[in-house]
Amino acid sequence: MFNDVPTALFDEVGIDGPPQDHLVIRVQPQEGISFTFQAKEPGPGFQPRTVNMHFTYADAFGVEPVEAYERLIHDAMIGDHTLFTRADEVERAWEIVAPILDIKASVLPYPAGSIGPAEADALIAPGHWHLHI
């Protein structure tokens, strides 16, 4: 989420503040990035306009990127282990995660759009936290 611009800037010129900027990261099937934001049109005066910036592999390089499994199979065929996880890495990851998964905790429901369950207030109440220096 992007921060809003100071609205006082727009109050002086008699227009509403600009719409929110958007950064969109597309994962599948057309990988790419889009950024939509407001820019001042060149020239005197103040006329903001929505500007779109788009990046896709097909547009930038003239080819579609290879599928993930195509890359993985190719790497396996040529013996490149860079994208493969070693067994000791997997075992260490499970050593770290398993104790967390074994914790028996309940999930407290709360209405969508609210700030969370009332029990959360007790967790952040004054006196429960202190700074270690």
Q: Which amino acid is at 55?
A: F
- Of residues 7, 5, 12, the one with CA closest to residue 46: 12
Q: Return the pLDDT at 93.
A: 95
pTM: 0.43
19-78 residue pLDDT tens: 778 888 887 777 889 898 888 888 887 777 889 999 988 888 888 777 778 888 999 999
CA 10-15-21 angle, to 5 degrees, is 70
Residue 102: pLDDT over 60: yes
CA distance 32 to 11: 36
CA distance 54 to 32: 7
Q: Return the pLDDT at 9.
A: 59
Tell me the DSSP string of 21-40.
PEEEEE-SSS-EEEEEEEEE
